[in-house]
A and B are shown apart, each in its own frame.
Chain A
Amino acid sequence: EVQLVESGGGLVQPGGSLRLSCAASGFTFSNYWMHWVRQAPGKGLVWVSRINSDESDTTSADSVRGRFTISRDNVKNTLYLQMDSLRAEDTAVYYCARGALVNHAFFDYWGQGSLVTVSS
C-alpha cells in the first residue's frame, strides 16, 4: 500500500525556517518524481515544488523560489522541503504528492498533510 506521511509542521515566526519531511513507503520511491502542494486555510490547491527521481532537477513556484528548497533521500525514502524566510502568506497545509509514472504528469497519491503556521 502506498503511504506518504508528512511531518515537521508547526508554528514559526515570520522570517523563520522550518523543514518538512515526507516518509514514503509501499512503492519504489527512487522511480518517481515528487511534489509539494499547499493549501491555505479555506483556500484551493497550489503547487509549490517538484523534484525528479534522481534529484538532478528541481523546480519551484515563483512565490517560493529562492526561499524554499526541495530535496530527497532515495536511501531513506524521504522527501524534504526546507522553508526559509517564511512569511504569513506561507501559512498552509503542505501535502507531499507522488507524480504519476506516466509522463510524470498528475498526482496519483497524496499524504495527509502537515500544517505550517507563520505568525508572531
Chain B
Amino acid sequence: DIVMTQSPDSLAVSLGERATINCKSSQSLLYSSNNKNYLAWYQQKPGQPPKLLIYWSSTRESGVPDRFSGSGSGTDFTLTISSLQAEDVAVYYCQQYFTTPPWAFGQGTKVEIK
C-alpha cells in the first residue's frame, strides 16, 4: 500500500504570510500515460467535514480561493497558502488515488495563526 507522510504536523503562520505544507508518498503518483499526479488536498475546519481543495495535484476545486495552490510531481507535493487568512485555520490532508484500494490520506497538518 502507498503511505502518505505530511510535514510538518503543525505550523503557526502570521496573518498575510505564506504557509507551506509538504506531502510525500512512498511511491510515485505520476501516471505516465496522461502525465497526471493522482493526489488531492482537503481542508477540514474544526467541527466540520473535510472539503476538497485541490485534485490532480494542482487543479483547484471550483470556488476555492486562488491563494491556495498545489504543486509537485512524482513523490513530493506541496500545498501553499500564499497569504494566510483567519478562515484558513484548519487541518489539511493530502490523499493519493493512484493505487486503490486503499485511498490513503496523510496524517494531517494543523495550520494556526501565530
Given that A105-B38, A106-B40, A110-B49 are contacting pairs, would A44 and B105 also be in contact in the complex, using a CB cutoff of 8 Å?
A: yes
CA–CA, A60 and B108, complex, Å: 22
* Inter-chain contact A111/B101, CB cutoff 8 Å: no
Partner of A59, one of B101, B104, B106: B101
Hey, what's the 0/1 contact readout for A52-93 against B, CB within 8 Å counting as 1?
000000011100000000000000000000000000000000
At the interface, yes or no: B107 with Cβ under 8 Å from chain A? yes
Closest to B40 in A: A106
* Inter-chain contact A106/B49, CB cutoff 8 Å: no
The A-contacting residues of B in range 91-106, CB under 8 angstroms, are 93, 95, 97, 100-106
Partner of B105, one of A47, A102, A111, A113: A47
* Inter-chain contact A50/B97, CB cutoff 8 Å: no
At the interface, yes or no: A32 with Cβ under 8 Å from chain B? no
At the interface, yes or no: A30 with Cβ under 8 Å from chain B? no
CA–CA, A110 and B49, complex, Å: 6
Q: How many A-B residue pairs have CB under 8 A?
A: 58
Closest to A110 in B: B49
CA–CA, A27 and B105, complex, Å: 26
* Inter-chain contact B49/A105, CB cutoff 8 Å: no
- Closest chain-B Cβ to A36's Cβ sits at a distance in Å of 11
- Closest chain-A Cβ to B102's Cβ sits at a distance in Å of 5
At the interface, yes or no: A11 with Cβ under 8 Å from chain B? no
At the interface, yes or no: A103 with Cβ under 8 Å from chain B? yes
Chain B residues lying within 8 Å of A107, measured Cβ to Cβ, are 40, 42, 50, 52, 95, 103
Closest to A112 in B: B49
Closest to A105 in B: B97
* Inter-chain contact A95/B101, CB cutoff 8 Å: no
CA–CA, A112 and B49, complex, Å: 5
Chain B residues lying within 8 Å of A61, measured Cβ to Cβ, are 101-102
- Closest chain-B Cβ to A73's Cβ sits at a distance in Å of 22
Chain A residues lying within 8 Å of B17, measured Cβ to Cβ, are none
